Structure 1
């Protein structure tokens, strides 16, 4: 990185701000490799992210703000502080207690006025909802039983249906219906979290499943000499049902 920063025209120009969107892209590429369980690709993407970490540290050292050593030292100090059950006298015999201690220590460190102050504003909404709920749970604000959470889902579903009745042709109040739909999604994410399902992972797996089936539909239609846009829903449904019976092959 020292050599690249000195000799490469592109690397010379980069700033912390210019690297930001590239780092986000690399993180999503790592996420794709993890979802595909491609260990070789995971190795490559980890290398790309490590490059970005080294790059940021190099720029930090040029600004005399931080370097790779102080980044790692700061991380080690934080891990020691946030694991008092390992490096102190705190007792934590299960994962949930560890999480609760972590959030309480983090709150003190950052000096946030709110437990939710540490949730990044730019997180995608689904992930943000999950993190908000996890942080609230970390200080004891949570349901006690899963049936209570499901009852909340049903309550929100009824409220949404009252604003958007599929059997009713009258025009809906879109703003109110949007609000109720958001409440319904939030309650479903909460239920997923409560029963230890990651809603982001679950939705992405469904996305990939849909892509695989739709690509099979496209391929089969082409082999049959047909164009999808000219096919009826009934014709497309034949190929769709075939796709559902296929073994789980990775998407190419």
Structure 2
């Protein structure tokens, strides 16, 4: 149990994980120099995590206005620093302007505003996200349905989902943010991706690969104060 006081909490709902194994050299030069790719089976992994965020609030305060409910799409990879495992985010897209402006203040986290929709019809969920910038468009559209049984996760599934640290490097300082939550209760997923141009900086082959997929109905996440890492390198 982390003895530090958490500073923010958030409820995640309808969480979908999409994981792709990719050659490690695809990510050369994409990370801060202090971080090392964390490999599994000799491969790097890229994940997209889609969810609805609810009741985001600072400790001791009510939900942040404009952030009570919004949709988010994160694209990340798996890294190590000083024998600690975690993730590094390439992008964090949200359909809440308040969330984007707050979390990206000072370029602390790579938040971007996007058009995101999630529609539920029974157990079937349709998700669509579109972000456009001068360099191009990144979008994903898919329909999926969680399977009923909660699985007993295999080592790879634990490795992909149980990550409790993330790193970010605005300017010349490397920060670590730790989170806390219960172990994920995962379900397998059936579905179809009809459009995918996420992580446009990677080779197009990524979008033809079949992802490993998992779903979790809900999770409460606690966020702890950022930590400045030492021994930071500059390019």
Structure with bigger helix share is 1
TM-score (norm 2): 0.21
**Which of the pair has more CA radius of gyration?**
1
- What TM-score do the two structures reach when normalised by structure 1? 0.20
Q: Choose between structure 1 and 2 for higher RCO, CA contacts under 8 A separated by at least 6 residues.
A: 2
Q: Identify the structure with the greater strand proportion.
A: 2
